[in-house]
Amino acid sequence: MEERKIVVPGETIIQGEEFLPGDGTRREDKDVVASRYGLAEVNDKLVRVIPLSGSYTPRRGNVIVGTVINMNYRGWVIDFGAHNNGFLNVAEFPRFVNKGELRDNLDFGDVVCAEVYSADETSVDLSMKMRGFGRLSGGQLIEINPNKVPRVIGKEGSMVRLIKAATGCEITVGQNGIIWVKGEKVENELDARKIVNFIAANSYISGLTEKVEEYIKKDLKLEIKQAARPQESAQKVDG
């Protein structure tokens, strides 16, 4: 199956013992069938169903974008749209932080890109120790359904590269559905927002890349320039 399609629970997605059932699927004899409503996808023999709606559940290793809403002597509280806020301990900050200097490093309202270090039903711990994580200065935030994030990223980051090539914006996509964009002008950021929202609204469509390119050229009247391959996590962040 090359094209993605919407499936319902119990529907056969693909036949063959060589295919492996992933998230949202199960095996029935030689068939891989859907166990939830969503968009079926086959990638390197792995079959999964991406839900078209739902809330974000943080998992270890996820990249998130969030906002500092509180702090204490141990670290910062980050709102990133999950059921529980995240906590960034000073020990997980990229550099040493003296007591009383927390606001000099991250202040209320600062936007950050961080990694989910651990998560359970009651708490979420974050880290910014690894390269590529940190404060995201300027720009603006776009919020979409977290389940639409894979479509915004695209295969191996292809959709992110397309948005960057059309708008020149820096882009950081959080798996929590919060996306940070920063351009030379506000107009560039607004164009990036329009493209992201278009992708999210049409995430169920097969051949989405071609539709997005058409939207960029005909509706937004933008030129798609050749762009260097960007990282899919934080880019040009302040440590």
The rounded percent of the chain whose pLDDT value lies above 90 is 72
Provide the mean pLDDT of the chain. 90
**Which amino acid would we find at residue 114?**
A
Contact criterion met (CB below 8 Å) for 87 and 139:
no
- At 54, the pLDDT band (50, 70, 90 cuts) reads low
- At 216, the pLDDT band (50, 70, 90 cuts) reads very high
**Which amino acid would we find at residue 44?**
D
Model pTM above 0.85: no
- At 236, the pLDDT band (50, 70, 90 cuts) reads very low
Note the pLDDT of residue 231: 44
Sign of the Cα pseudo-torsion (8, 10, 11, 14, in order):
positive
Contact criterion met (CB below 8 Å) for 159 and 88:
no
For residue 139, give both structure tokens.
């720009």
Instruction: Give the integer Cα–Cα distance in Å for 81 and 95.
Output: 26
Note the pLDDT of residue 38: 83
Report the CATH number of the 5-50 domain. Answer: 2.40.50.100
**Which amino acid would we find at residue 149?**
V
Evaluate if residue 238 carries a pLDDT over 80.
no
Evaluate if residue 205 carries a pLDDT over 50.
yes
Instruction: Give the integer Cα–Cα distance in Å for 84 and 11.
Output: 34
Closest CA to 136 of 152, 113, 120: 113
- At 171, the pLDDT band (50, 70, 90 cuts) reads very high
Note the pLDDT of residue 3: 62
Beta bridge partners of 20: 46
The rounded percent of the chain whose pLDDT value lies above 70 is 92
Domain limits, the chain: 5-50, 63-135, 140-219
Looking at the domain 140-219, which fold is it? Ribosomal Protein S8; Chain: A, domain 1 (3.30.1370)
Superfamily of domain 63-135: Nucleic acid-binding proteins (2.40.50.140)
Mean predicted confidence (pLDDT) in 85-107: 93
Instruction: Give the integer Cα–Cα distance in Å for 142 and 193.
Output: 7
- Domains 63-135 and 140-219 agree in fold: no
* pLDDT tens column, 125-159: 999 999 999 999 999 999 999 989 999 999 899 99
Note the pLDDT of residue 4: 75
Mean predicted confidence (pLDDT) in 156-180: 96
